[in-house]
């Protein structure tokens, strides 16, 4: 501010000085001329003044003119000086103006810089804002991830605890479920060796041994099935079968297996469907039988009086459909019932309801879990209705496909066919080749077969079997173990089939999976029976080939 006011003051001073000097110069010029004029005028009028006076007067005039000139000169010099000063001032002014211009440029530049910096800072503000949003997002994401991880960890911990609980339950259950029948088997087997027992007592003990063996076998099958389900290796082998024929066989099996039903006066009833029509399904008969037997065995276990009814009804999508879309099976009992809050619980593995301290029910808690998983694989569902102390009805469904032809296979455990059970066969003119590496099994087979009068030959591996077949064209049937040293049953069967294509070969193995069965049939076996088998089952099966 002061700089600008100084500058203006300087400029004003200069113009004032100029005006003053001009005026002064003008007056100085103007007044002597006027004086000279006056003097001349006076000398013209006054002629009569004295000569001396005229000299004096002239001198005065000359003096005056000199003074005037001197004054003029002084003024001119002064003016020059003033002009110089003015020019100097002008120059300075210009320099200052230039400087001011430069300063102004600088200020403008600085202003621009400030503006650009303000812009920059605006941009930075935006960037910071965006980064804050991003940070907030990642914070939220992190929080969610941490939450998820925590939940996963909790789940994993719960699962670990659950699996620990299951492991303990499994071990406790297994110990109980294995030791109890083993105890009975060993106990009754030792009683058999006594000399003072009657034939009736012997028969009773043998029934007990058989029943407990069956329980053990069921337990082993259940554990194997559970492992297969866990490993996603359960295979469903579908084929056509008649439901009504199948249910009749299951009925017979339960009646022979559960003699106590008669004792307890519990009525076991197989109910015909309301359409009074026979249906054929395309499903896995082995697994179907397993599910039904699980449900019926449970019903017999948990029922003390009343009845057990089972059967099925076709379900139609609409009234216009001739063929049902589903078949709904049921097993109804008048047993102890199931509390409603346990409806999911009992379908989990190893879960049993043990609310009643007055009675301990046998079982590993696997049957319903396996049934549920099998039904999922077969396209069906399982559920139940129940009332405590009044009874339960278990339902399950299977998809129905229109099949008219029921094919029967000779494969023993794949299909039904337990109805024949003739034990006294006469095979006196027959020769049966037993191919088996396990001593106990060879002895067992020999003991069964020799009672029919048949001659037996023994081979301990595939190579020996092939040799015996080559040397003995009279062999009627071969009972072939599949897993053997040197040459296994598959290779031996292939070789035997090239020598005697029509010689029946029955595969027998302790493996129960469907693949094993298929492999043996592919190798050329004519039938398949899985261990363990009992005497009537084996004889009955051999009889279909001999
Ligand atoms: P388990 O071999 O122990 O019977 P399951 O999986 O078949 O195993 O059954 C699980 C549990 O469900 C049984 O321990 C029993 O408590 C209950 N349960 C199953 N069926 C019946 C039934 N018909 N009546 C009453 N309770 C049943």
CATH class of 238-410: alpha beta
Average pLDDT over residues 356-376: 88
Average pLDDT over residues 159-172: 80
- pTM metric for this prediction: 0.61
Identify the residue whose C-alpha is closest to ligand 1 atom 11.
352
Alpha-carbon span 271 to 262, nearest angstrom: 18
DSSP letters spanning 14-81: HHHHHHHHHHHHHHHHHHHHHHHHHHHHHHHH-TTS-HHHHHHHHHHHHHHHHHHHHHHHHHHHHHHH
pLDDT for 270 equals 96
For 333, list phi and psi in degrees, rounded to 5: -135, 165
- Binned at pLDDT 50, 70 and 90, residue 403 comes out as low
Partner residues linked to 396 by β-bridges = 329, 382
pLDDT for 513 equals 67
Identify the residue whose C-alpha is closest to ligand 1 atom 19.
298
> 303 CB less than 6 Å from ligand 1?
no
pLDDT, one tens digit per residue, over 482-541 is 989 899 999 999 999 999 999 999 999 877 666 777 889 899 999 988 888 888 889 999
Tell me which range, 252-266, 392-406, 439-453, is most confidently predicted by mean pLDDT: 439-453
- Rounded to the nearest integer, the mean pLDDT of the chain is 84
> Tokens 């029943």 appear where?
211
> 492 CB less than 6 Å from ligand 1?
no
Residue 14: other Cβ atoms inside 10 A: 16
pLDDT for 315 equals 93
DSSP letters spanning 425-493: ---TT-EEEEE-S-HHHHHHHHHHHHTTT-EEEEESSHHHHHHHHHH-TT--EEEEESS-SSS-HHHHH
pLDDT for 239 equals 85
Of the candidate ranges 153-167, 248-262, 393-407, the one whose mean pLDDT is the lowest: 393-407
For 239, list phi and psi in degrees, rounded to 5: -160, 170
> 365 CB less than 6 Å from ligand 1?
yes
Alpha-carbon span 137 to 130, nearest angstrom: 10
Q: Is it the case that residue 2 has pLDDT exceeding 60? A: no
- Binned at pLDDT 50, 70 and 90, residue 361 comes out as confident
- Binned at pLDDT 50, 70 and 90, residue 176 comes out as confident
pLDDT for 20 equals 57
Average pLDDT over residues 449-463: 94
Average pLDDT over residues 427-453: 92
- Binned at pLDDT 50, 70 and 90, residue 49 comes out as low
Partner residues linked to 489 by β-bridges = none
Q: Is it the case that residue 117 has pLDDT exceeding 80? A: yes
> Tokens 């006027």 appear where?
34
H or E segment at 392? Answer: strand 391-399
Q: Which two tokens stand for residue 45?
A: 């009028």
Share of the chain above pLDDT 70, in %: 85
Q: Is it the case that residue 113 has pLDDT exceeding 60? A: yes
pLDDT for 378 equals 93
> 539 CB less than 6 Å from ligand 1?
no
Which ligand 1 atom is the nearest neighbour of the CA of 349?
A: 6
How do 267-271 and 307-315 pair as beta strands?
parallel
Of the candidate ranges 10-19, 48-57, 321-330, the one whose mean pLDDT is the lowest: 10-19
Cα-based torsion angle of the residue sequence 44, 47, 50, 52 in order, rounded to the nearest 10 degrees: 30
Q: Which CATH number applies to 421-543?
A: 3.40.50.2300
Q: Is it the case that residue 202 has pLDDT exceeding 70? A: yes
pLDDT for 303 equals 94
CA of residue 410 to ligand 1 center, whole Å: 34
DSSP letters spanning 474-499: T--EEEEESS-SSS-HHHHHHHHHHH
> 352 CB less than 6 Å from ligand 1?
yes
Average pLDDT over residues 246-271: 89
Query: Which residue ranges make up each domain of the chain?
Result: 238-410, 421-543
pLDDT for 417 equals 41
Share of the chain above pLDDT 90, in %: 45
Alpha-carbon span 28 to 21, nearest angstrom: 10
pLDDT, one tens digit per residue, over 270-307 is 999 998 888 988 899 989 999 999 999 999 999 999 99
Cα distances from 303 to residues 336, 340, 390, in angstroms, run 6, 18, 10
pLDDT for 407 equals 43
CA of residue 264 to ligand 1 center, whole Å: 19
Domains 238-410 and 421-543 share a fold: no
Average pLDDT over residues 354-367: 80
pLDDT for 406 equals 41
Identify the residue whose C-alpha is closest to ligand 1 atom 8.
365
């Amino acid at each position: 501010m002061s700089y600008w006011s100084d500058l203006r003051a300087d400029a004003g001073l200069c113009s004032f000085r100029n005006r003053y000097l001009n005026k002064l110069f003008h007056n100085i010029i103007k007044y002597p001329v006027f004086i000279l004029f006056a003097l001349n005028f006076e000398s013209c009028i006054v002629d009569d003044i004295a000569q001396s006076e005229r000299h004096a007067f002239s001198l005065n005039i000359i003096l005056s003119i000199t003074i005037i000139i001197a004054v003029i000169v002084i003024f001119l010099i002064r003016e020059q000086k003033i002009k110089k000063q003015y020019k100097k001032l002008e120059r300075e002014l210009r320099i200052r103006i230039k400087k001011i211009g430069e300063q102004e440029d600088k200020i403008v530049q600085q202003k621009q810089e400030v503006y650009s910096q303000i812009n920059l800072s605006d941009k930075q503000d935006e960037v910071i804002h965006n980064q804050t949003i991003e940070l907030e997002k990642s914070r939220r994401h992190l929080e969610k991830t941490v939450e998820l991880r925590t939940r996963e960890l909790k789940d994993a911990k719960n699962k670990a605890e659950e699996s620990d609980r299951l492991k303990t339950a499994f071990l406790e259950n297994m110990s109980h479920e294995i030791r109890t029948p083993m105890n009975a088997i060993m106990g009754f087997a030792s009683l058999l060796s006594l000399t003072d027992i009657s034939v009736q007592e012997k028969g009773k003990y043998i029934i007990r041994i058989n029943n407990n063996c069956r329980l053990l076998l069921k337990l082993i099958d259940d554990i194997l099935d559970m492992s297969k389900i866990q490993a996603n290796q359960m295979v469903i082998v579908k084929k056509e079968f008649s439901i009504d024929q199948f249910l009749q066989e299951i009925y017979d099996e339960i009646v022979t297996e559960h003699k106590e039903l008669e004792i307890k006066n519990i009525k076991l009833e197989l109910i015909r469907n309301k359409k009074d029509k026979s249906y054929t399904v395309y499903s896995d008969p082995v697994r179907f039988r397993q599910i039904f037997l699980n449900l019926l065995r449970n019903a017999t276990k948990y029922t003390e009086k009343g009845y057990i009814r089972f059967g099925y009804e076709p379900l139609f999508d609409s009234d216009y459909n001739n063929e049902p879309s589903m078949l709904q099976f049921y097993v109804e009992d008048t047993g102890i019932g199931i509390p409603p809050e346990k409806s999911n619980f009992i379908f989990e593995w190893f879960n049993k309801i043990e609310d009643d301290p007055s009675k301990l029910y046998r079982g590993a808690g696997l049957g319903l879990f396996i049934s549920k998983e099998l039904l999922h694989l077969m396209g069906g569902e399982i559920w139940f209705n129940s009332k405590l102390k009044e009874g339960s009805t278990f339902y399950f469904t299977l998809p129905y496909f229109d099949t008219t032809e029921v094919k029967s296979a000779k494969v023993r455990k794949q299909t039904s066919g337990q109805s024949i059970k003739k034990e006294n066969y006469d095979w006196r003119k027959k020769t049966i080749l037993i191919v088996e590496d396990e001593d106990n099994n060879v002895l067992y087979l020999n003991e069964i077969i020799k009672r029919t009068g048949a001659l037996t030959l023994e081979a301990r591996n595939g190579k020996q079997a092939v040799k015996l077949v080559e040397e003995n064209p009279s062999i009627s049937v071969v009972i072939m173990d599949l897993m053997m040293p040197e040459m296994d049953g598959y290779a031996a069967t292939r070789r035997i089939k090239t020598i005697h294509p029509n010689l029946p070969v029955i595969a027998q193995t302790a493996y129960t999976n469907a693949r094993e069965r298929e492999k043996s049939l592919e190798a050329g076996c004519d039938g398949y029976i899985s261990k363990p088998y009992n005497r009537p089952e084996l004889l009955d099966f051999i009889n279909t080939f001999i």
